[in-house]
Structure 1
Amino acid sequence: MTRLLPRSLAARFIAVFLLALALSQGVGFLIAWEDRGQALRAQAKAEFLSRTASLALLLETTPSAVHTDMLQVSGTAYTRFWISPQQPMDAGRWRKEAWVQLAKPLPTLHKPQPDPQPGPVVDSAPGTAMLGAANATTVTDDTVRWLDLPPHAWPLSRPAKFMYLDTAIGMGLAVRLDNGAWLNAAFAKSLQNSPWASQTALSLAVTAAVLSGIAVIIARGIARPMRRLAAAAEQLGRGETVPPLPESGPDDIRQTAEAFNRMQARLQRFVHDRTRMLAAIGHDLRTPLTSLRLRAEFVTDPELQEKMLNTIAEIQTMTEAALAFAREEATVEETRTVDLSALVESLCDDLADLGSDVRFTGGTRISLRCRPDALRRAIRNLVENAVRYGERARVRVGREPGGVEIVVEDDGPGIPADQTEQVFAPFFRLEHSRNRETGGVGLGLSIARTIARHHGGDVRLSNGDGGLRAVLALPLGKGHPADA
């Protein structure tokens, strides 16, 4: 069921509104149509009884010579009247006679036109169609029965005999006149009106359009702060400084914005507190390290003195590197859009000018929103590692589905497959001599991955055919600048 729903919030709101509209209108139409049918039947019955009662009173006050003409002119497209000398007893036989009377055409009250043109014969009897329709109903001559109609149930103060001709609007009535004859009346009218008329369709379309407009307004009111929250969360995950979200709107939206703002404040406070703590530790370590260096100068044994100075220098280097690593995580560099290919190419040219064997093999021009200085440092660490351990570095930039990759390849021995993740740990080195010239302090890859992950990407290592392959993958995200 979830797969059938639209993915966007506005489309889902419209779909739910229209589904609710269709269900409610369908149920409402069925109920209204049943009520309408009952009201029409009650109205038709009341009119039929009133018309018959009026005709009975009129016949009783007029000469019998004009009764036949009165009965003919009183008939309508759905009603017929006739007089029988005897009281109708057999309901089935009377029902047949009623359908015969209804099938008779109304009398022609105008003179026919001379020389009529030949044409198709049209049955002008309105009761013919009703006769066929009525014969198809479930009421039969064997099941029809007379019903006694008491005086209080119709306009005259005398009883009458009543029956239903069919299951639709079909009725029969017989009432005794003052002269002993019986006035017979038959009524039949088929209800052909459908609840799905043009007015109904127009009403449904207008209601659907109004509800769709309301759903769009509501969905946009909900989706706009949700999109703003998603964009802010993406920026925060990349280490950018995000302004506090507006804390307005419905309670659920407002509470979500408040929770996000509190979370961002706590994260920033945690990072700042940790950075200040590390900075204080580094500052406090400089004083004892300086004291140790001064005391080492007074050591008379040259070999011991050199070892002590090397150890002090190593401690100081690791301390400074740890502080730089912590500062990189808490960077507040402004994010802006740059030409990534130009940034990588300029970095490669700078390293090549310094004597490193670095070659930029090209790439498509890609505009990327990032922190350029931090990203440049991450790429520099990867390239310098490739030169240090693999003699040379080949760098290229390429587009991938949904992102961009900066690939650095070297001609070195690579690294063991089981240590491709371990090398990203701070201060981890494959070269265990602790020589800073050959192995560094073990923070280059850690810093590179930290910077990449602050941009929403990552750094991956793999062994190629002739060396190590380092890939710095970055997402472009939605709404990134178009490629030039």
Structure 2
Amino acid sequence: MIRIWKRSLAAQFIGFTLTALILSQALTFVISWQEHSKALDDAAKSEFFTRARTMTRLMGSVPPQFRQQALLASETRNSRFWLTDHDTADAAAWRQDAASQFSRQLENFVDLVQVFSGGPDRPQIPDARKVATSNIGEDWRAPIQSLWALPQPVKYVYFDGSRGYGLVIKLDDGRWLNAAFYLTETNRWWTSTSLASLSLTAAILALISILVANRISRPLRSLVTSAEALGRGENLPPLSEEGPEEVRRTAEAFNRMQARLHRFVEDRTKMLAAIGHDLRTPLTSLRLRAELVSDAGNQHKMLSTIDEMQSMTEAAIAFARGESTAEETRAIDLEALVESICDDQADLGQPVKFYEGGRLTYRCRPDGLRRAVRNLIENAVRYGLEANVSIRQSATTVDIVIEDRGPGIPEALFEKVFAPFFRLESSRNKETGGIGLGLSIARAVVRQHGGDISFAQVTGGMQAVIHLPLEGQVLGTATQKAKSRAVKPTKRGLRGAFVSR
């Protein structure tokens, strides 16, 4: 869950929205609930006070034998009425008596809350121990006369904190009417209705958040895809510059960066081609002058040097032309591409073997990648006696592995061998050492695909690895077919599972 939260903009947007909803609702309830509860409490006490005055009048007009039935008929879930022959001066004793009255079963009251709302089977009653320890030191008080507005004397007292309220009224016949009110349940805001309302609001906000987050993240996903493709050297159309201002400005900046990169590469390759082309004229002039040298030994050395410079110039021009060629990126069978290169070399009599793996569809520029793989294979054959080629996958890359049996490259020169025109072979003979552009061209091609080339010393030889980014792999290809393909002999030997030595 934390991983999704960190990686997904939609999850964060929804989470922040729902958090804001819950906090705002909680703050609203905290602010309004106290006032709301006080209003409900005042309304209930007002209703009880009115009922007590009504019962006081009623006791004066009802015959004594019917008074008890009238009191029982007037009782509610929150109120009790009873008559006593004497006054209770001790407020603590009266509180205990009132608490016991609420444990009495009601005879004529129908609890609609229990019937329709599934409330508790028995109403909540005051706890006698809690009543005994609450309101200690509080004695009887007299209410405001304008509030009572009856000639009969009355006094009141609280019990169980402020949840209980009691009245004692002296009737005209000398008896005492006792009335007790107890707020049996605290009203809750987390009712099924409020929770359903909150859930519905949260669901609507989550849906809106998903739509908004997708609208925001869609151009960002396009930007990520385009950036990955640009890093692999693909020619892309400009991004759509629409949406919110921040997203639009980001797309505009990316398009400008892409145009500048393409312009820089084009200018560099054009300059390299121009330099290589312009060098042909002075080299031709030097060759003509060398022909006029009378010393045969010096003439041969000068012509050899001019031939070497001519070869380097032609290689530079060829490299520039290859760089300037805009090859289309497309999906190919990478294993078939590498296998065809190995087959071509084997047909020429070179000791090259390819070890099959799984079928892998990959987006690349096939001609450029073919050139890079062929250069590494030719180097392995030239300096390492043979080339064993395979394809493997890691967590982040697709690797083309070329192994040989040669002495290898000193680790200190792993990076230097990629420099243009650098050669390990010191004879400067292009038949044995080449021009020195092969590895430079190979790494340039691979880096245009977003990858790189690395070397490693292995037992009995050298290993060159072309690392291609896994993002270029076309998903949905049947890579598992490698398990079902039979190991088959070919004219160049047995092809089986390649084991790195």
- Output the TM-score relative to the length of structure 1: 0.85
Relative distance call for 1:135 and 1:234 in structure 2 (3 A) is same
Q: Report Cα offsets for 1:351-373 as digits up to 9, x if no partner.
A: 33334333334333221111000
The question of whether the paired residues in 2 share the 8 Å contact of 1:82 and 1:184 is answered with yes
Corresponding residue for 1:94?
A: 94
The question of whether the paired residues in 1 share the 8 Å contact of 2:380 and 2:402 is answered with yes
The question of whether the paired residues in 2 share the 8 Å contact of 1:429 and 1:441 is answered with yes
What is the aligned counterpart of 1:431 among 421, 425, 431? 425
What is the correspondence of 1:37-116 to structure 2 with a 5 Å cutoff? 37-60=37-60, 67-83=67-83, 88-106=88-106
The question of whether the paired residues in 1 share the 8 Å contact of 2:269 and 2:320 is answered with yes
The answer for unaligned runs of 5 or more in structure 1 is: 110-125
How many angstroms does 1:407 deviate by? Answer: 1.9
- Alpha-carbon separation, structure 2, partners of 1:479 and 1:10: 26
Is the counterpart of residue 403 in structure 1 residue 397 in structure 2? yes
What is the aligned counterpart of 1:420 among 414, 419, 422? 414
Partner amino acid for 2:448?
Answer: H
The question of whether the paired residues in 2 share the 8 Å contact of 1:149 and 1:159 is answered with no
The question of whether the paired residues in 1 share the 8 Å contact of 2:363 and 2:473 is answered with no
Corresponding residue for 1:319?
A: 313
Relative distance call for 1:67 and 1:342 in structure 2 (3 A) is closer
How many angstroms does 1:318 deviate by? Answer: 1.7
- Output the TM-score relative to the length of structure 2: 0.82
Is the counterpart of residue 464 in structure 1 residue 458 in structure 2? yes
Q: % of aligned pairs identical?
A: 52
Corresponding residue for 1:268?
A: 262
Is the counterpart of residue 333 in structure 1 residue 327 in structure 2? yes
Relative distance call for 1:393 and 1:101 in structure 2 (3 A) is closer
- Alpha-carbon separation, structure 1, partners of 2:316 and 2:472: 35
Q: Report Cα offsets for 1:124-171 as digits up to 9, x if no partner.
A: xx9x96555354357547334323311344565887422222236321
Corresponding residue for 1:114?
A: none
Corresponding residue for 1:374?
A: 368
How many angstroms does 1:84 deviate by? Answer: 5.2
* Higher mean C-alpha deviation, range 312-321 or range 138-147: 138-147
Corresponding residue for 1:120?
A: none
- Alpha-carbon separation, structure 2, partners of 1:138 and 1:236: 82
Q: Report Cα offsets for 1:24-65 as digits up to 9, x if no partner.
A: 444445555544432321111110111122333444566667
Partner amino acid for 1:248?
Answer: E
Relative distance call for 1:156 and 1:266 in structure 2 (3 A) is farther
What is the aligned counterpart of 2:191 among 174, 191, 197? 197
The question of whether the paired residues in 1 share the 8 Å contact of 2:99 and 2:126 is answered with no
Corresponding residue for 2:271?
A: 277
The question of whether the paired residues in 2 share the 8 Å contact of 1:328 and 1:451 is answered with no
- Alpha-carbon separation, structure 1, partners of 2:332 and 2:81: 96
- Alpha-carbon separation, structure 2, partners of 1:349 and 1:464: 25
Partner amino acid for 2:369?
Answer: L
Count of aligned pairs between the two proteins: 468
The question of whether the paired residues in 1 share the 8 Å contact of 2:124 and 2:185 is answered with no
Partner amino acid for 1:7?
Answer: R
Q: Secondary structure at the match of 1:463?
A: strand
The question of whether the paired residues in 2 share the 8 Å contact of 1:75 and 1:81 is answered with yes
How many angstroms does 1:96 deviate by? Answer: 3.1
- Alpha-carbon separation, structure 1, partners of 2:472 and 2:267: 33
* Higher mean C-alpha deviation, range 83-92 or range 364-373: 83-92
- Alpha-carbon separation, structure 2, partners of 1:103 and 1:349: 99
- Alpha-carbon separation, structure 2, partners of 1:383 and 1:216: 51
- Alpha-carbon separation, structure 2, partners of 1:334 and 1:138: 91
